Amino acid sequence: MNKTNGKVYFVGGGPGDPELLTLKAKRIIEESDVVIYADSLVPEEVVSYANDKAEVYGSKTMALPQIMEITLKAVSEGKTVARVQSGDPSIYGAILEQMRILESEDIDYEIIPGVSSAFAAAAVLKAELTVPEISQSIIMTRAEGRVSLPPGEELKSLASHGCSLVIFLSVTRMTKIVRELRSAGYSKDTPIAVAYRVGWPEELVIRGTLTDISAKVRDAKITLQAVIIVGQAVNPDVRLPDSDRPEQRASSHLYSETYTHLYRKASRRSRSSAKDKDKAVSGVDSVKA
């Protein structure tokens, strides 16, 4: 199909820490003839693996036509292009319009997944985003701003589910976010965390509640590159053992000795005690781990 031997890779560059690149992403950066990286969100260290002969471009000052001009020229010369995006390319990566052009030109391309800032933030917060009995779903979204949201995706309506929320691209709208979450029914002491530049040397994590988070973010002067996570998932107390509070008691079936699944039978002793105890335990329906 491809008219030349050139190929484009959309590479997930991860949140910023070069050690969070996948081995495949690193290899493709090393082997590519042209590397175009989103230098507003991807630090230079991530593309430092490019070979000495590679042309390396930062794309933060470029519009789509310029990016595609460089890309199409390289491909027409049979070169390989690594388009390095922040986090995972499938989340707000703006790759769709690039893929459409490549499709129309019959150019071969591939997507290499990366560690999203959502998951890097959950990691620094030491959070499991799926808290048994509290939230078994995660909604990834953004607040409405210059980009309008499709009907039904307003934060207020998504928040009505009460599950873990990961909000991108919205740290300048904390007051509006808090207002919408409150009107969707989140209590004023709902835990919320803001993780700025996760994986960068200047990484900063702010924890709070819907009552105080706006002021904390304002005081820290964070206006960009932060991911917001809302819900009991970011309540540090869920990690504390031996509490009567429900969010600290529930745990997953996954490794429960009272739970039979495809690869393991519940122990007999635990099966009998489970009848009484396990009512408080929730978890997964099928297990592949």
Q: How far is the CB of 52 from ligand SAM (least distance, A)?
A: 27
DSSP code of residue 54: -
- Closer to ligand SAM at the Cβ: 210 or 229? 229
In which element (H, E) is residue 180 found? helix 174-183
Q: How far is the CB of 248 from ligand SAM (least distance, A)?
A: 28
Q: How far is the CB of 3 from ligand SAM (least distance, A)?
A: 30
Using CB atoms within 10 Å of the CB of residue 123, give its burial: 0 to 12 exposed, 13 to 18 middle, 19+ buried: middle
Q: How far is the CB of 40 from ligand SAM (least distance, A)?
A: 9
- Give 146-149's long-range contacts (Cβ < 8 A, gap of 24+): none
- Closer to ligand SAM at the Cβ: 208 or 283? 208
Residues 82, 227, 232: CA angle, nearest 5 degrees: 135
- Closer to ligand SAM at the Cβ: 80 or 116? 116
- Closer to ligand SAM at the Cβ: 56 or 227? 227
C-alpha distances out from residue 154 to 71, 149, 172, 191, Å: 36, 6, 17, 20
- Closer to ligand SAM at the Cβ: 60 or 245? 60
- Closer to ligand SAM at the Cβ: 168 or 186? 168
Residue 31 half-sphere exposure, CB side, CA atoms within 13 Å? 12
Residue nearest to ligand SAM according to CB distances in the complex: 87
Q: How far is the CB of 111 from ligand SAM (least distance, A)?
A: 12
- Closer to ligand SAM at the Cβ: 150 or 241? 150
Q: How far is the CB of 82 from ligand SAM (least distance, A)?
A: 16
Give the closest residue to 75 by CA, choosing from 172, 171, 160, 3.
3
Q: How far is the CB of 190 from ligand SAM (least distance, A)?
A: 19
User: What would the DSSP string read from start to end of 111-167?
Assistant: EE----HHHHHHHHTT--SSBTTTBS-EEEEE--SSSPPPTT-SHHHHHTT-SEEEE
Contact 35, 56 (CB under 8 A): yes
Could you tell me how many residues make up the chain? 289
Residue numbers at the binding site for ligand SAM (CB under 6 A)? 15-16, 41, 85-88, 91-93, 116-117, 121, 168-169, 195-200, 225-227
Amino acid at 145: G
